[in-house]
Amino acid sequence: MAVRIPERILTPAIVVGGALLISAAPPDAVAPDLTGIACTPPSAEQVSDSDRAPLDATQQALVEHLSRRYFIAEVATERMVVAAHRAAAEVGLDPLLVLAVISIESRFNPIAESVMGAKGLMQIIPRYHLDKLRAAGGEHAVFDPESNIHVGARILQEYVYRTGTLEAGLQFYNGALRDGTAQYAHRVLAERMRLEQVLRGRGG
């Protein structure tokens, strides 16, 4: 569940665990200011089947696995897998990490909604992230799979940079930074490992 970061200085008591999984990020890197940059991905209506690039072997293996596991049509799963890879590449995250967050947050249900007001695949709380949702087309974009994934990936990237570690960033994403056991982060990273094992088993 994506939550708002308070403005006070962050003092997380979380041990650095695992690699950042941020591609080529220097130690003094800061999150880019993405406010005002339109991040609206092409909608399904704008992209015809003939215009879609064929999936690579890794993406196809993920589509087949996730479609079976969550009982989703392959065409819908393909949209989400492609969007996760595209969003991850744009912000410098591992696509398997993005897919793992989706798995834990919503089980790939694009209309999931929590009692706390978190919505969509990556369980974004609109009132905390209106600027990003407006850049993606408006608050209603939270239920569009591609837009939700792009906004959620940007939120997660900012949290990782601002807290300094992947584990702390994941905990902040879930609103559980004070949890010294980092249960949420461990669940996400375990799910990411399962996806990696699927790919290894397929030779992906």
pLDDT score of 153 more than 60:
yes
Q: How many Cα atoms sit within 13 Å of 11 on the Cβ side?
A: 2
Contact between 119 and 112 under an 8 Å Cβ cutoff? The reply is yes
Token pair, residue 71, equals: 């009982």
Residue 107 domain-assigned? yes
Residue 168 domain-assigned? yes
Q: What pTM was computed for the model? A: 0.76
Residue type, 86: R
Contact between 136 and 39 under an 8 Å Cβ cutoff? The reply is yes
Residue 131 domain-assigned? yes
pLDDT digit string, tens, across residues 52-83: 678 999 999 999 999 999 999 999 999 999 99
Residue 7 domain-assigned? no
Please give the pLDDT value at position 27.
39
Contact between 116 and 127 under an 8 Å Cβ cutoff? The reply is no
Token pair, residue 111, equals: 């209309």
For residue 121, the enclosing domain spans 57-202
pLDDT digit string, tens, across residues 159-171: 999 999 999 999 9
Domain count, the chain: 1
* Residue of higher predicted confidence among 19 and 123: 123
Residue type, 125: I
Residue 28 domain-assigned? no
